[in-house]
Structure 1
Amino acid sequence: MREEKKQEKQLSDKEILSLQEKDFRLLMLKMMQDIGNKLEAKMDNLQETLTKEIQDIKLKQEEMQNTITEIKNSLEAANSRIQEAEERISEVEDRLVEITDAEQKREKRLKTNEESLRELWDNVKRTNIRIIGVPEGEEREKGTEKIFQEIIAENFPNMGKEPLTQIQEAQRVPYKINPRRNTPRHILIKLTKIKDKEKILKAAREKKQVTYKGTPIRLSADFSAETLQARREWHDILNVMKGKNLQPRLLYPARLSFRFEGEIKTFTDKQKLREFSNTKPALQQILKELL
């Protein structure tokens, strides 16, 4: 059989042409069968290869689909967390606004209460005069009220002839002596009428130097600690304005008054004065290092 195939393969073109029709047909039939078998084998191999490749592609496609699904799930979870975080942030911001508003209202109420308390305390003190610099012990023999009367007689003799309102209270303050302080305690005089207090303090300002037994002392109004601090904050501005002949005055309880451009201006705090000076270049130049 092998020899026949070998012989068929070895047939030359001349030999093939010399074959009888029957043998030629048999030869062609065998050759076509061989070609068909080879094609079938190749088709089988190709189909097997394609099937395997298709399976690989489907497997990879499935893996990619799983990966896409995982990524999608991760993104959805991340978006959900982001949305949840944004909602929490929004809630916190809203709560912060509420807390801030509540705190501002609380601070405003506290400031209002403090101002009301300061005004009340200043009203209580409004008829008071503080005497500063009288040595300790002077009141033991004559009493603090007598010391006040002697100061009036020594410094304002004409006023001493006029009847003054009654003295409601006269005492050293604070009540106890602080051994660590070298200066004498103040004497606090409480009068019954504001006009008498203002008359005495005006006379003291005009005299410029008040004495007790020849020793310099000071007479001043009595204020709460907050009002006293507010008045002190005007000190440098008052001095500068005096130098510029603006006729500054410190009004009760802590308002600054001065003459500018022919008008009397009054301010309760530095912020309002700063806002006004920003519209007046000349005044702004005068106060540029003080506001």
Structure 2
Amino acid sequence: MQGLTSRVDEVESRVGLVEDATVELTEAMVTWSKRQRNIQNKLTDLESRSRRNNIRIFGVAEGEEGTSMHQYITDFLKSKLALPAELDLRIQRAHRVFASTLRSAQPRPIIVNFQEFTTKERILKEAWKKGPIQVKDKNIYFDHDYATEVAQKRREYQGIKKALKERGIRFQTPFTSIRIHWEDGARVYGNAYEAGRELQKRGLSAETPAASTEEEEITARLQEIVSWRRAPPKRQRESSAAQRAKDRLRGYQRPGDK
């Protein structure tokens, strides 16, 4: 019986060591996950700043630019936005985005980089003020050149924006949030999930993303593991194991045995 007790003590001791190591490793993973998210946020900020002088033009048919994209965009902006002929737009680069592996029926957007931020802002304001612009019966749209992660978050609002347009409800999408002008006042929502829940409360249906991303779910699971109760210290485990063994042995004692 003493040998069995010794083996149980050894097993419990090893299990305790594994639990301690698991919790410590998980805590380290949670810490590094948070650091990785902070680094990703900084990279997104840097990418956004590097694109701050860019605009994207959507809807221009492939090949419409001819042999010179730079000249085509210069003439296009001045004619469609009624800009002064002598205005120097100071366009540094103009090109289409790289082709994806899957061909799309939609033409590739055109990225235009201006030397000055004020010129870029003026172009966008003039384009948005003018309203729909058409080239050969095709609608042309202007927008900022957002960083990849920002663009992904903005795409998550597509279902919500569609539902709001169908009901004639005015909205705006500044950066990665959405401002909806309800009858009882305007409200700002930080992500598509929050906005989608609000639409549901108000009786509107719209496609919305999940409450959390895969990265957030992994971090949450890690934090849940960290919250597990650690095993008691080795000395306490050994003491409790010995006590349990003694209690079991007492069950086999005959009356009168000591």
Q: Which runs of 4+ in 1 moved over 6 A?
A: 176-179
Among 75, 78, 86, the alignment partner of 1:153 is: 78
Distance 1:135 1:245, change over 3 A: closer
C-alpha displacement of 1:161: 5.5
Distance 1:225 1:89, change over 3 A: same
3-state SS of 1:138 partner? coil
When Rg is computed on C-alpha atoms for both structures, the one with the higher figure is: 1
Q: Which has the higher helix share?
A: 1
Among 161, 166, 177, the alignment partner of 1:255 is: 177
* Aligned residue type for 2:162: N
Any residues of structure 2 matched to 1:133-172 within 5 Å, and which?
133-136=60-63, 138-140=65-67, 143-157=68-82, 159-160=83-84, 163=87, 165-172=89-96
Aligned to 1:265: 187
Distance in 2 (CA, whole Å) between partners of 1:283 and 1:162 is 52
Contact 1:129 1:221 in 2 (8 A): yes
C-alpha displacement of 1:237: 1.0
Corresponding pairs, count: 207
Q: TM-score normalized by structure 2?
A: 0.65
Any residues of structure 2 matched to 1:122-201 within 5 Å, and which?
122-132=48-58, 133-136=60-63, 138-140=65-67, 143-157=68-82, 159-160=83-84, 163=87, 165-174=89-98, 185-201=108-124
Q: TM-score normalized by structure 1?
A: 0.59
Distance 1:178 1:94, change over 3 A: closer
Aligned to 2:161: 238
Contact 2:54 2:113 in 1 (8 A): yes
Distance 1:258 1:184, change over 3 A: closer
C-alpha displacement of 1:287: 5.0
C-alpha displacement of 1:283: 5.9
Any residues of structure 2 matched to 1:102-141 within 5 Å, and which?
102-132=28-58, 133-136=60-63, 138-140=65-67
Distance 1:231 1:83, change over 3 A: same
Greater relative contact order (Cα < 8 A, sep 6+): 2
C-alpha displacement of 1:123: 1.5
Contact 1:204 1:219 in 2 (8 A): yes
Unaligned residue ranges in structure 1 (runs of 5+): 1-73
3-state SS of 2:173 partner? strand
Contact 1:131 1:219 in 2 (8 A): yes
* Aligned residue type for 1:149: T
Distance in 2 (CA, whole Å) between partners of 1:286 and 1:127 is 40
Contact 1:131 1:188 in 2 (8 A): yes
Unaligned residue ranges in structure 2 (runs of 5+): 209-258
Q: What whole-Å deviation, never above 9, does each CA across 1:208-266 have from its counterpart, x for those lacking one? A: 432347754433321222221111101111222334454211112x2211234644322
Any residues of structure 2 matched to 1:1-291 within 5 Å, and which?
74=1, 76-132=2-58, 133-136=60-63, 138-140=65-67, 143-157=68-82, 159-160=83-84, 163=87, 165-174=89-98, 185-212=108-135, 216-252=139-175, 254-260=176-182, 262-273=184-195, 277=198, 284-287=201-204, 290-291=207-208
Q: What whole-Å deviation, never above 9, does each CA across 1:160-215 have from its counterpart, x for those lacking one? A: 458465223223433x8989667654432112344433443344344443234775
Distance 1:195 1:263, change over 3 A: farther
Q: CA RMSD, aligned part only?
A: 3.3
3-state SS of 2:202 partner? helix
C-alpha displacement of 1:154: 2.8
Distance 1:212 1:243, change over 3 A: closer
